[in-house]
Structure 1
Amino acid sequence: MSNKTVLITGASRGIGRATARLFAQNNYNVLINYNKSEKEAYSLLKELKDNGYSADIYKADVSNPFEVNLMVKHCIGTFGKIDVLINNAGIATARLFTDITHEEWNEMINTNLNSVFYTTQASLKYMISEHAGKIINISSIWGMVGGSLEVHYSTSKAAIIGMSKALAKELGPSNIQVNCIAPGAIQTDMLKNVSEEVLEGLKEETPLMRLGTPEDIANCALFLASDNASFITGQVISPNGGFVIV
């Protein structure tokens, strides 16, 4: 197949869903990864197929290396390659640091960080041999500056930034670019339990006076995946409306 292929983890909802849709519209083969959101994942697959786009679906817990390896092999078997890997899958919870249990800490690190290690390592077996590839890791502004009541989340997202920068240096000679997107406050399910008062406060603290959309992040990912970004690696791009400026 002449089309490029993108594997997107956590693609059934929110940022992942918008990204899958945008890449499909730009003639990518899209592998939709999901774990628990089966209904949403299959509705996305149907939408893409009904519009004539090239897409497939694969259920895998990306915190499980065995399942990840099978997913990557499936992608290669279906589309023949992986040109772009977008590590988007993640969870977020708010807890006082002193209330975080060992189980909650491990779940956050396994889901948000270890998954990036597993999917990236599995995909690189193919990218390195092709001497080409793009890896885009979804971090967060809280990975850049830290978030109160989200120490475990901030830690996992900060580690993704460090991993991306180090890996970019290692993979540069193989013509593989590694970058991070660190979204600000985005209108997804992660904000569904946040009160209107808090949401209004977030808007007021954002110089552009609005929350971000999943499409804002998808557009950034599409740019980083494009040939126009071929000289960009090891960078953190933060679509956050000016909420965090560093």
Structure 2
Amino acid sequence: MKHQYVGDISDYRKYALLRALSAGGSNRIGVCWMLTDSDGSSDGNKLAYLQQPKRHRRFDPELFDILAHAASEPDRRRLDAIEESGAIPGALYCNDTLPDDLAGRGMFMEHAASAFRDRELVFFDPDNGMETTLPKGRKNSSKYVYLDELAGFYRTGKSLLVYQHFPRIERRAFVASCLNRLGAVAPDASLWTFTTAHVVFLLAIHPESPARLAVATMEGCRRWDSSFIKGEYVPSLREAAE
């Protein structure tokens, strides 16, 4: 995540999903921004939707207004504006900058694990998504969340939500690959996808998570039309065979 993304159309969808999963704060969410420095690119400039309230505000009017205010001036396009607005009820945030180096990254994850010890769902918001072939500790590795990190949080009973940007490859096979990798580190989780125009959010619900999280997830799947967010349950191989 970068400050320059605040208010972008993908940001709108992301917070709308988190708000739905929080169920008004009943489900305790930890938001791990995985913040990285601005890269000077034009990424995060999909703001035209804010000039079309009749078309877009209906999905989450309160959130739309929060983001319109944040995006109205460059100095407001910061994660602090989201945190201070209460956009995600009851959320806790890990808003340190994530470094590339192994030692710094390890300390970052330890801090996040400690901060989120009483959270039921942890959201990871890397710039790109889950790890690819770039080894942890290399330049730009801060743009990814690594599978061993997800596994560590899952072992402590956390459900996981992961931001995953779509690369320019066939999407169905890509999502299936992502789910296989996530399922490998969360083998007994129920898996869900929330697909948008540019991003898929991968959700792994831990079997020890409260039932209200599954309820909020199912309600989230019915909340919006598929042009905004399309939520789906992913049957396990055993379920698919039955």
TM-score w.r.t. structure 2 length?
A: 0.46
Looking at secondary structure, tell me which structure has more helix per residue: 1
